[in-house]
């Protein structure tokens, strides 16, 4: 399902305001009702001690994709905050590109349960490097 222009604009504006995403070199690449995709290269400044992408990079991309997926199903005036998130790191983050895909598992006005997968893409090869599940909390203006 396509998003309303209003909600799409809200997600894009919020994403643009996250300096961390700029530091990661991340781009919002897909935006649908309940599903958001973010891609980023593995910049040298975001690596760990063996030259792979740092867990903070993988986590940050997946958390943002999941958060915006939650935001995409909320009324336009809502914001969302991550309450908790679990990440399984399945493989080292190396390749040309990381792609995080966030999805809504269960929407709600009080809690939105979300899931994200992060894949590393190297040429033709796509490897899942992380599986995440978490809880987003909608916040409404008072």
Q: Which residues bind its own copies (CB under 8 A)?
A: 14-15, 17-20, 22-24, 44-50, 54-57, 59-60, 63, 81-90, 105-106, 110-111, 113, 115, 128, 131, 133, 135, 137
| Shorter beta-carbon distance to its own copies: residue 3 or 80 | 80
Min dist. Cβ of residue 124 to its own copies (A): 21
14-36 CB burial, b ≥16 within 10 A, e <16: bbeeeeebeebebebeebeebbb
| Shorter beta-carbon distance to its own copies: residue 2 or 137 | 137
| Shorter beta-carbon distance to its own copies: residue 14 or 29 | 14
Helices assigned H by DSSP within the chain:
5-16, 19-24, 55-72
Question: Using an 8 Å Cβ cutoff, are 127 and 95 in contact?
Answer: yes
Min dist. Cβ of residue 110 to its own copies (A): 6
Min dist. Cβ of residue 55 to its own copies (A): 5
Give whole-number Cα distances, 28 to 43, 50, 77, 117, 134, in Å. Answer: 17, 27, 21, 15, 20
Min dist. Cβ of residue 18 to its own copies (A): 5
Rounded CA Rg of the chain: 15
| Shorter beta-carbon distance to its own copies: residue 17 or 124 | 17
């Amino acid at each position: 399902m396509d998003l309303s222009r209003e909600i799409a604009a809200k997600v894009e504006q919020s994403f643009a305001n996250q300096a961390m995403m700029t530091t990661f070199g991340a781009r919002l690449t897909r935006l649908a009702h309940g599903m958001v995709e973010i891609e980023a290269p593995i910049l040298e400044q975001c690596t760990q001690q063996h030259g792979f992408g740092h867990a903070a990079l993988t986590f940050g991309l997946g958390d943002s994709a999941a958060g915006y997926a939650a935001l995409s199903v909320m009324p336009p005036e809502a914001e969302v905050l991550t309450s908790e998130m679990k990440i399984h790191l399945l493989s080292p983050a190396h390749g040309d590109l990381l792609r995080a895909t966030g999805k809504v598992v269960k929407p709600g006005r009080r809690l939105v349960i979300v899931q994200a997968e992060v894949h590393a893409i190297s040429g033709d090869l796509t490897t899942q490097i992380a599986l995440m599940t978490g809880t987003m909390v909608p916040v409404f203006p008072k």
